[in-house]
């Protein structure tokens, strides 16, 4: 393995249109943090770079839906995610953002350099334009009828009903989601990165020179390369992003996939004036931590960009993970099917390490994996509490009780003691080898073996019994147990930084370098330890049930909103709203209107009068079930004659996705004629 002088670690820039969830953490940030902490302890020159990805259509769409500016959306999620990372102990050297000035400059310069070198091709194509709104329409801004299934709400890039991916010209009856008008095709000029030109070089660089990459990463690259690469547009017609820095590019910005990875470079510039040594010296090892959905961007497109630019190094490794599912279902931001980091930190205060441990122990390293709350609880109770916590607690409490907290002298050791002592440096080596090859699950398992070793050693030697017959022997046992504990504070530090800090406090022992791990004389005889407390607490069933119930409620809510919701109506003034007299009433009588299928004649008490309302709800209600029900009505709707009966008002109903009508009633009984406002 090549020895590098320094390390540049990047972690995928989270998209600033939603909060972070456990899928992000398990896929990218927990492994990248473990790796970075390990390298720092090794004394390596390492910087860890991340930030918010703040451009692209989904952000402008979200802003439009909420009636706020894109800047407000990215400000909100940048602040939320930055704080969640800090509170979770993800130790980036910088958490920047792509709406920063330094990023605009860096991305612009990068584009210009390629532009001036003639690395782009230009092409004019026809795209939909909204004449009312005066702008070109991104695929997601166009809706129409799916040519495959007839769904009238298909998007320009995909029909979500039948799952077919579409291009806007496939849609029948296209309309703009901005103005509702029918868009027209107009010519627009864009710049393309000719990936096909880099194909032979990429084939050699990845398929021959990087056979050591993880199988899932290598396999996906190979499949992309085997299919053949196509030129890819680097610009978009959009008003949110880094403007294309050339003439005749008004209203055009850099495509988000082009601008986002340059964000790593701008963030490094922001961090240190020495940024070039990290990006331009072949003695630097560049490692991109990403999820599998980003493989093509980090292994093929970004390297092609860097190669075209010419002065940058390329990634040495891209240890992408697969996806983490939640309770056997795909994690989804739009369906709210996730464990959100900022919520976890509130629900489980002080338990950052439990989630770090649980996510690392079941990380989706080679295939998709599942997170369940039951397993989370078992990892905590059966491993962190029962193995690590138990061993550490026994060791510290016995040392307090027998020796007033002073490390006892190690006497003559027997073969069993020596076997244990010899095992410590071996474990360190195994952990190290696994970390260096990005096998974090294996590394954690091996690190926990040190706690298992200690636990077993105490169980086998039983110092609490031997103390009555052979106190000298117990000194040796406790000395060895304490050396194991001191080693744990080093070996587990990258994985469980919060707990190891506590443990070091109890041991009265500073943070050591990684290379001190494996030593069996870390704690000197006579060294005084502090009063210990519990390292981990049991997580009770009720806490887990609360989380599971919350997910079940989400599932229910998703099922009831699976219908295509009607777009919001135009705003009305409060004065207009206040003109409508909505109030509660009680049904006194209900009868079918003769010779009709749908109509019911209802006599109701409105609190101000007794009146008749005719309502088209006969298919959904048995008249006798309605009598006595409290309902909501519009009381001042102009009277209408229906089948010869004068109807004075309207009953409020909610229409379910299958067209079923449901009464809108107050949840608690109120007096008739109560105003609804």
User: With contact defined as beta carbons under 8 Å apart, do 337 and 330 qualify?
Assistant: yes
- The owner of tokens 């309902």 is 631
Q: How far apart are CA 457 and CA 417, in angstroms?
A: 8
**Which residues, in sequence order, are bridge partners of residue 185?**
128
CB of 151 to Zn ion, least distance (A): 4
CB of 155 to Zn ion, least distance (A): 10
- Identify the residue among 68, 79, 112, 149 touching Zn ion (CB under 5 A): 149
**Which residues, in sequence order, are bridge partners of residue 49?**
10, 94
Q: Work out whether 151 is an interface residue with Zn ion (CB under 5 A).
A: yes
CB of 165 to Zn ion, least distance (A): 10
Among the listed ranges 50-58, 158-166, 373-381, 480-488, the one in contact with Zn ion (CB under 5 A) is: 158-166
CB of 184 to Zn ion, least distance (A): 24
Among the listed ranges 149-157, 320-328, 350-358, 396-404, the one in contact with Zn ion (CB under 5 A) is: 149-157
Strand-strand pairing, 142-145 and 252-254 = unpaired
What DSSP string describes 321-374? B-PEEETTEE-BTTTTBS-BHHHHHHHSTT-HHHHHHHHHHT--SSS-EEE-HH
CB of 172 to Zn ion, least distance (A): 11
Q: How far apart are CA 284 and CA 5, in angstroms?
A: 6
Q: How far apart are CA 48 and CA 454, in angstroms?
A: 34
Query: Is 150 or 350 the residue whose CB approaches Zn ion more closely?
Result: 150
Residue 7, SS3?
Answer: strand
CA distances from 480 to 223, 403, 452, 643 (A): 53, 14, 14, 95
The two structure tokens encoding residue 407: 């490390």
Q: Work out whether 580 is an interface residue with Zn ion (CB under 5 A).
A: no
Closest CA to 427 of 410, 442, 412, 407: 442
Among the listed ranges 93-101, 139-147, 167-175, 398-406, the one in contact with Zn ion (CB under 5 A) is: 139-147
Q: How far apart are CA 308 and CA 314, in angstroms?
A: 11
Query: Is 151 or 489 the residue whose CB approaches Zn ion more closely?
Result: 151
Q: How far apart are CA 432 and CA 303, in angstroms?
A: 28
Torsion region of 174: left, alpha or beta (phi above 0 gives left; psi -120 to 50 gives alpha)? beta
Closest CA to 14 of 375, 231, 294: 294
CA distances from 246 to 114, 126, 190, 598 (A): 12, 21, 11, 65
Phi and psi of 286, rounded to 5°?
Answer: -100, 125
Q: How far apart are CA 237 and CA 127, in angstroms?
A: 10
Query: Is 131 or 160 the residue whose CB approaches Zn ion more closely?
Result: 160
Among the listed ranges 14-22, 160-168, 241-249, 409-417, the one in contact with Zn ion (CB under 5 A) is: 160-168
Q: How far apart are CA 547 and CA 162, in angstroms?
A: 32
Among the listed ranges 84-92, 135-143, 144-152, 545-553, the one in contact with Zn ion (CB under 5 A) is: 144-152
Query: Is 171 or 633 the residue whose CB approaches Zn ion more closely?
Result: 171
- Identify the residue among 28, 146, 217, 490 touching Zn ion (CB under 5 A): 146
Among the listed ranges 10-18, 70-78, 87-95, 145-153, the one in contact with Zn ion (CB under 5 A) is: 145-153
CB of 144 to Zn ion, least distance (A): 11
Among the listed ranges 142-150, 274-282, 443-451, 590-598, the one in contact with Zn ion (CB under 5 A) is: 142-150
Residues near Zn ion (CB under 5 A), total? 7
- Identify the residue among 64, 76, 113, 148 touching Zn ion (CB under 5 A): 148
Query: Is 162 or 534 the residue whose CB approaches Zn ion more closely?
Result: 162
Closest CA to 317 of 465, 205, 474: 205
The two structure tokens encoding residue 52: 């918010």
The two structure tokens encoding residue 487: 């080693």
**Which residues, in sequence order, are bridge partners of residue 142?**
176
Among the listed ranges 143-151, 240-248, 470-478, 540-548, the one in contact with Zn ion (CB under 5 A) is: 143-151
Upper half-sphere CA count for residue 471 (Cβ side, 13 Å): 7
Query: Is 170 or 237 the residue whose CB approaches Zn ion more closely?
Result: 170
Among the listed ranges 155-163, 306-314, 515-523, 648-656, the one in contact with Zn ion (CB under 5 A) is: 155-163
CB of 157 to Zn ion, least distance (A): 12
CB of 655 to Zn ion, least distance (A): 23
Query: Is 152 or 283 the residue whose CB approaches Zn ion more closely?
Result: 152
CB of 329 to Zn ion, least distance (A): 23
Among the listed ranges 147-155, 260-268, 322-330, 376-384, the one in contact with Zn ion (CB under 5 A) is: 147-155
Task: Looking at 537-626, list the stretches that DSSP marks H as alpha helix, in order from N- to C-terminal side.
Answer: 541-560, 574-578, 623-626
Closest CA to 341 of 167, 14, 584, 84: 84
CB of 173 to Zn ion, least distance (A): 14
Which helix H or strand E contains 449, and what residues bound it?
helix 440-461
CB of 147 to Zn ion, least distance (A): 8
Q: Work out whether 635 is an interface residue with Zn ion (CB under 5 A).
A: no
Query: Is 30 or 142 the residue whose CB approaches Zn ion more closely?
Result: 142
Query: Is 167 or 508 the residue whose CB approaches Zn ion more closely?
Result: 167
Q: Work out whether 220 is an interface residue with Zn ion (CB under 5 A).
A: no
CB of 100 to Zn ion, least distance (A): 40
Question: Helix, strand, coil shares of the chain as percentages rounded to 5?
Answer: 45, 20, 35
Query: Is 112 or 149 the residue whose CB approaches Zn ion more closely?
Result: 149
Query: Is 158 or 179 the residue whose CB approaches Zn ion more closely?
Result: 158
Per-residue mark of binding to Zn ion, 299-338 (x: CB under 5 A): ----------------------------------------
Q: Work out whether 517 is an interface residue with Zn ion (CB under 5 A).
A: no
Residue 623: count of CB within 10 angstroms of its CB: 16
**Which residues, in sequence order, are bridge partners of residue 171?**
none
Distance of CA 54 to the CA centre of its chain: 15
Q: Work out whether 162 is an interface residue with Zn ion (CB under 5 A).
A: yes
Query: Is 148 or 452 the residue whose CB approaches Zn ion more closely?
Result: 148
Query: Is 149 or 662 the residue whose CB approaches Zn ion more closely?
Result: 149
CB of 124 to Zn ion, least distance (A): 30
Residue 665: count of CB within 10 angstroms of its CB: 15
Query: Is 158 or 307 the residue whose CB approaches Zn ion more closely?
Result: 158
**Which residues, in sequence order, are bridge partners of residue 287?**
9, 317
Query: Is 149 or 185 the residue whose CB approaches Zn ion more closely?
Result: 149
Closest CA to 441 of 522, 366, 528, 350: 366
CB of 115 to Zn ion, least distance (A): 39
CB of 311 to Zn ion, least distance (A): 47
Among the listed ranges 78-86, 156-164, 524-532, 537-545, the one in contact with Zn ion (CB under 5 A) is: 156-164
Q: Work out whether 159 is an interface residue with Zn ion (CB under 5 A).
A: yes
Beta strands in 295-354 (DSSP E): 324-326, 329-330
Query: Is 161 or 197 the residue whose CB approaches Zn ion more closely?
Result: 161
Upper half-sphere CA count for residue 311 (Cβ side, 13 Å): 9
Query: Is 146 or 253 the residue whose CB approaches Zn ion more closely?
Result: 146
In the complex, the residues that contact Zn ion under the rule CB under 5 A are 146, 148-149, 151, 159, 161-162
């Amino acid at each position: 393995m090549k020895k590098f002088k320094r390390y540049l670690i990047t972690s995928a820039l989270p998209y600033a249109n939603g909060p972070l969830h456990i899928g992000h953490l398990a896929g990218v940030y927990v492994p990248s943090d473990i790796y970075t902490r390990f390298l720092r302890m090794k004394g390596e020159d390492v910087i860890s770079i991340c930030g918010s990805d703040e451009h692209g259509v989904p952000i402008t769409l979200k802003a439009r839906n909420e009636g706020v500016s894109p800047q407000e959306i990215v400000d909100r999620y940048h602040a939320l995610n930055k704080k969640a990372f800090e509170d979770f102990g993800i130790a980036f050297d910088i958490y920047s953002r792509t709406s920063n000035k330094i990023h605009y400059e860096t991305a612009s310069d990068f584009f210009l350099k390629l532009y001036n070198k003639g690395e782009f091709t230009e092409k004019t194509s026809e795209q939909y334009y909204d004449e009312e709104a005066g702008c070109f329409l991104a695929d997601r801004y166009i809706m129409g009828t799916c040519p495959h299934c007839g769904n009238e709400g298909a998007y320009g890039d995909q029909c979500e009903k039948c799952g077919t991916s579409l291009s806007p010209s496939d849609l029948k009856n296209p309309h703009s989601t901005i103005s509702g008008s029918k868009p027209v095709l107009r010519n627009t000029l864009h710049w393309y990165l000719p990936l096909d030109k880099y194909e032979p070089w990429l084939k050699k660089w990845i398929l021959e020179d990087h056979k050591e990459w993880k199988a899932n990463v290598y396999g996906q690259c190979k499949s992309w390369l085997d299919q053949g690469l196509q030129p890819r547009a680097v610009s978009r017609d959009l008003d949110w992003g880094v403007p294309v820095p050339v003439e005749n590019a008004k209203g055009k910005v850099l495509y988000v996939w082009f601008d986002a990875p340059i964000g790593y470079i701008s963030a490094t510039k922001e961090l240190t004036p020495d940024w070039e040594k990290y990006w331009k010296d072949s003695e630097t090892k560049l490692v991109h931590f990403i999820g599998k959905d980003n493989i093509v961007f980090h292994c093929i497109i970004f390297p092609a960009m860097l190669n075209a630019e010419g002065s940058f190094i390329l990634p040495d490794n891209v240890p992408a993970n697969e996806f983490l599912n939640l309770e056997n279902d795909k994690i989804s931001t739009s369906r709210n099917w996730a464990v959100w980091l900022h919520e976890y930190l509130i629900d489980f205060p002080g338990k950052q390490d439990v989630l770090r441990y649980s996510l690392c122990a079941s990380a989706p390293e080679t295939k998709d994996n599942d997170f369940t709350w039951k397993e989370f609880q078992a990892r905590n109770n059966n491993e962190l509490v029962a193995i690590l916590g138990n061993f550490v607690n026994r060791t510290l409490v016995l040392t307090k009780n027998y020796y007033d907290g002073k490390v006892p002298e190690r006497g003559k050791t027997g073969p069993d003691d020596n076997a244990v002592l010899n095992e410590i440096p071996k474990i360190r080596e195994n952990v190290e080898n696994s970390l260096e090859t990005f096998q974090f699950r294996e590394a954690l398992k091996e690190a926990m073996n040190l706690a298992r070793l200690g636990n077993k050693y105490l169980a086998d030697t039983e110092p609490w019994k031997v103390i009555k017959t052979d106190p000298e022997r117990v000194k040796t046992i406790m000395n060895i147990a304490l050396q194991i504990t001191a080693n744990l504070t080093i070996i587990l530090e990258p994985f469980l930084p919060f707990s190891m800090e506590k443990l070091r406090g109890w041991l009265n022992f500073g943070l050591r370098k990684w290379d001190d791990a494996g030593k069996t004389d870390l704690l000197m005889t006579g060294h005084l330890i502090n009063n210990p407390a519990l390292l981990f607490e049991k997580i009770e069933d009720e806490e887990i049930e609360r989380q599971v119930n919350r997910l079940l409620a989400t599932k229910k809510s998703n099922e009831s909103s699976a219908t295509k919701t009607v777009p919001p109506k135009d705003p009305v003034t409060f004065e207009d709203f206040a003109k409508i007299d909505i109030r509660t009433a009680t049904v006194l009588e209900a009868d079918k209107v003769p010779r009709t299928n749908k109509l019911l004649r209802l006599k109701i008490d409105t609190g101000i009068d007794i009146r008749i309302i005719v309502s088209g709800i006969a298919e959904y209600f048995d008249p006798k079930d309605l009598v006595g029900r409290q309902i909501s009505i519009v009381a001042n709707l102009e009277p209408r004659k229906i089948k010869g009966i004068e109807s004075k008002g309207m009953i409020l109903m909610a229409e379910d996705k299958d067209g079923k009508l449901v009464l809108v009633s107050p949840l608690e009984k109120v007096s008739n004629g109560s105003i609804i406002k």
